[in-house]
Amino acid sequence: MTVTAWPEWQTANPSGTFSDWLKGSVADDWHKVTHHAFTDAWGKGAVSDRNLKNYLIQDHRFIDRFVALLAGAVSRAPALSDRIPACQFLALLTGPENTYFERSLDALSVSTQERTEQPDWPVTAAFKELMRVAMESNEYANMLAVLAVAEGTYLGWASRVSDMIDTGPDDFWYAEWLDLHTGPYFESVVAFLNHQLDQIGPQLSDDARTMCQSYFRKATTLEVQFFDAAWGPQL
C-alpha cells in the first residue's frame, strides 16, 4: 500500500487531522482488526471454550505493560490538562478492566497455574515488546501511536459488533468486554488520544513523524495478528 507523506496528504486534505492520516496509512489492517471473524463470534457469544480462555489469558498479559506505557505518556504530556484524562483512564485499567479479567478467568475455571504457566503467544510477546520500546523511547508521539491503535481498534470492533446485535451476549465475560470498549466514556478516551496526536504530530520533524507512523503501523499489524492467533486452532 502506497502511503502519501504527511505534507502532501495535508495539502490534499486540508480539513483532515494527523490521526486521520495515520489511520489512513493502515486502512487495510485497520479494517481487518475491526471486522475480524473473532470479533463477530464474540458479539454472538460463540467463541469456542479453549479459544476464549486463551484469549483472556493472553490479553490480560498486556495490562502490566500497557499501564507502564500509559504512565510514561502521562509523564511526557505537555500540561496537567493533558495528564488528567490519561490518569483517569489508568484508574479504569487498573480497576474495572483488571477486575474483569480476574472475574472472567475465575468464572471459566481457569487455574492460577494455567494463567501463569501458559507461554506468551509470539504476537503477545511482540506487542509487549513494542509497548516497552515505545515507552523507553521517551517520545510522547511514539507512546500515543501505540495507545491510539490499541484503544481505537477496540472501539471500532466493539462498536460495530454492538450495533450489529439486537441483544448482547448473556455471559458477562462477553457482555462486559463490549461494555468496557463502547459508550461515551470510552469514545472520549479514544478522542483524547487522537487529539493529542493531532496537536503534536504536525509539529514533529520528518524523522520523528516517520517513527511515530512506524509505531502506529506496527501496532495495527500486531492487532490483526493477535486476533488471528485468538481465532486459530488452540491447544
Residue listed under C-alpha cell 471459566: 108
Number of other CB atoms surrounding residue 40 within 10 Å: 17
Q: pTM here? A: 0.96
* Distance (Å, whole) CA 97 – CA 154: 14
DSSP 19-55: HHHHHHTTHHHHHHHHT-HHHHHHHTT---HHHHHHH
* Distance (Å, whole) CA 105 – CA 172: 11
In a domain, 15, yes or no: no
Check which CATH number belongs to the domain holding 188 and give it: 1.20.910.10
In a domain, 12, yes or no: no
Give the per-residue pLDDT at 51: 97
* Distance (Å, whole) CA 111 – CA 155: 30
In a domain, 10, yes or no: no
Q: Residue 110 has what DSSP assignment? A: -
In a domain, 136, yes or no: yes
In a domain, 3, yes or no: no
Give the range of the structural domain holding residue 72, as residue numbers without chain letter.
Answer: 20-231
In a domain, 6, yes or no: no
Give the per-residue pLDDT at 2: 73
In a domain, 107, yes or no: yes
Q: Taking a C-beta distance cutoff of 8 angstroms, is the pair 153, 225 a contact? A: no
Domain count, the chain: 1
pLDDT tens across the length of the chain (235 residues) = 677 899 999 999 999 999 999 999 999 999 999 999 999 999 999 999 999 999 999 999 999 999 999 999 999 999 999 999 999 999 999 999 999 999 999 999 999 999 999 999 999 999 999 999 999 999 999 999 999 999 999 999 999 999 999 888 999 999 999 999 999 999 999 999 999 999 999 999 999 999 999 999 999 999 999 999 999 998 7
In a domain, 98, yes or no: yes
Give the per-residue pLDDT at 167: 86
Q: Taking a C-beta distance cutoff of 8 angstroms, is the pair 181, 34 a contact? A: no
Give the per-residue pLDDT at 1: 64
